[in-house]
Amino acid sequence: MPTRKRPHDLLKATTQPIHPFDHIHGTDTSGLVPSGHLATGHANDRHITAYYAVAPSILRTLIQHWRETIPTHPIHSYTFLDIGCGKGRALFIASELPFRKVTGIELNPAMAAAAEINLRHWKRAHKSDPTAPHLAPIEIIEQDALEYDLPNTPTLVFLFHPFEAPVLKALLRRIETQFAKRPGTLDILYVNDECGHLLEDHPAFTRLFRGPVAMSPEDHAADLEAIAQQKEYGSTGDEACAIYRYTGRAKS
């Protein structure tokens, strides 16, 4: 039986246009890498989606929405954990905020290597700019997210729809196992929440926010230019986003 084609299977690889974020910081986080170019031989290759970096304004706004939910701990206690970090853009954006630590997990060796190179450029650019904010510590780990031991700190997980439902289900099980005795200390930011129903229906997670988050005019212009090269997708100027908190199964 032929393999079912998914919309993102029809995406074509691009390296242009260069997003303003990269022009400013000397990084290389732009472009689109289809799922077929990200295969590593892992059993879950068939569930990966594609690499396309989050719009900076989307992530900054979503983090602000999260802070307005009044997390159970101050932001400086949290590890920001980007699962499927790709070339690292979300890590770099988060590192300008007062997180305890910023960690990226990436299965694909080429993506992880690109993120490490970008990290060096990111640090160099900030070191030479006296107006740049202080950076949180950043680390990039080349590993299967389903084998990664989640932090012992309060944790803010970031997902930009890195994989489909089977892998997300397994990740939620792992989160529940490792945070069972720490309800309220792990939150999830989910951008392009195509598998959001798994969290909506999960008895151990509580939705804090769900809705469209708008891009800045600059990010929308860049998105329009990039997506114009793809036949299967358009740019609406926003992303469907959600925020969830692990509250455990014994909810009051």
**CA end-to-end distance (rounded Å), the chain:** 48
Question: Up-side HSE of residue 122: CA atoms within 13 Å toward CB?
Answer: 27
Calpha distance 95→102 (Å, rounded): 6
Calpha distance 59→122 (Å, rounded): 17
Calpha distance 91→93 (Å, rounded): 6
pLDDT at 227 (0 to 100): 79
pLDDT at 47 (0 to 100): 82
- Of 184, 223, 178, which Cα lies nearest the Cα of 205? 184
Residue type, 110: A
> CATH number for the 54-246 domain, one of 3.40.50.80, 3.40.50.620, 1.10.10.10, 3.40.50.150?
3.40.50.150
Tokens of 169: 């289900």
Residue 26 CA, chain-centre distance (Å), reads 21
pLDDT at 44 (0 to 100): 79
**Local mean pLDDT, 10-residue blocks, the chain (252 residues):** 48 72 95 81 82 96 98 98 97 98 97 97 93 95 96 97 94 96 96 96 97 96 82 80 94 50
pLDDT at 38 (0 to 100): 78
What's the pTM value of the predicted model, to 2 decimals? 0.92
pLDDT at 37 (0 to 100): 77
pLDDT at 251 (0 to 100): 54
**Please, what is the Cα angle at 251 between 248 and 252, to 5 degrees?**
155
